[in-house]
């Protein structure tokens, strides 16, 4: 029988125990969704694990751990970034926006509304990352053409194949 493994094995050698004492932590303040949060974690710990395991913000998903699928996308100062490979120590004083807070931004609210109106979501696992990338695109380019949509969304994978609905959702949000 295989051993039970859940959420403890992490890329880059970090585990839940790393934040608890396996590696020396650094006290730092992060601004997440407009709220200051204090954490004491290793500088090199990926932002994804700080959000999920330390702060309990599980909306941002783990997909591949190598920044290739987009499930872990968050905004850092409005730019879509892959949190699974971003060391928390590199964030500094920059503002972090997660799926839990993106609906408070004009572009995020438009994208979320379009997603619901057009029923973009199928299984939903990749959708936090899709919404984060789409809202960063819309904030930077309020009227994106197909090429801009393709470029912005290229790093986001959807195993259910909802790419057509995602494109329609972005266009719908841009028109609203």
- Kindly give, in sequence order, each residue whose CB lies less than 8 Å from that of residue 86, ignoring residues fewer than 6 positions away: 46, 47, 48, 76
| Domains of the chain with bracketed CATH | 11-97 (3.10.20.30), 102-175 (1.10.150.120)
Averaged over 98-119, what is the pLDDT?
Answer: 98
CA atoms within 13 A on the CB side of 120: 26
Q: Chain centroid to CA 9: how far? A: 20
DSSP tag of 31: E
- Which contiguous run of DSSP H or E holds residue 27? strand 26-32
SS3 147: helix
Span 118-163, pLDDT tens digits: 999 999 999 999 999 999 999 999 999 999 999 999 999 999 999 9
Sign of CA dihedral 135, 111, 167, 47: positive
Q: Chain centroid to CA 162: how far? A: 18
CB pairs under 8 A, 24+ apart, for 160-166?
160/122, 160/123, 160/126, 161/122, 162/120, 162/121, 162/122, 165/118, 165/119, 165/120, 166/120, 166/130, 166/134
Cα distance between residue 69 and residue 11, in whole Å: 14
Give the predicted TM-score (pTM) of the model.
0.87
Span 61-89, pLDDT tens digits: 999 999 999 999 999 999 999 999 999 99
């Amino acid at each position: 029988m295989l051993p039970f493994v859940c959420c403890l094995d992490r890329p880059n050698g970090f585990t839940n125990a790393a934040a608890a004492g396996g590696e020396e932590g650094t006290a730092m303040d992060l601004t997440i969704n407009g709220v200051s949060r204090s954490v004491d974690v290793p500088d090199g710990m990926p932002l994804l694990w700080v959000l999920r395991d330390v702060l309990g913000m599980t909306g941002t998903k783990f997909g591949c751990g190598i920044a290739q699928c987009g499930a872990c996308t968050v905004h850092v100062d409005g730019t879509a970034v892959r949190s699974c490979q971003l060391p928390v120590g590199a964030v500094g004083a920059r503002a972090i926006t997660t799926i839990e807070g993106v609906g408070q931004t004009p572009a995020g609210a438009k994208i979320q509304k379009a997603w619901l109106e057009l029923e973009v979501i199928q299984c939903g696992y990749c959708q936090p990352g899709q919404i984060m990338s789409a809202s960063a695109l819309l904030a930077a380019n309020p009227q994106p053409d197909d090429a801009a949509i393709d470029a912005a969304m290229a790093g986001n994978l959807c195993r259910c194949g909802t790419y057509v609905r995602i494109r329609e959702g972005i266009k719908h949000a841009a028109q609203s």
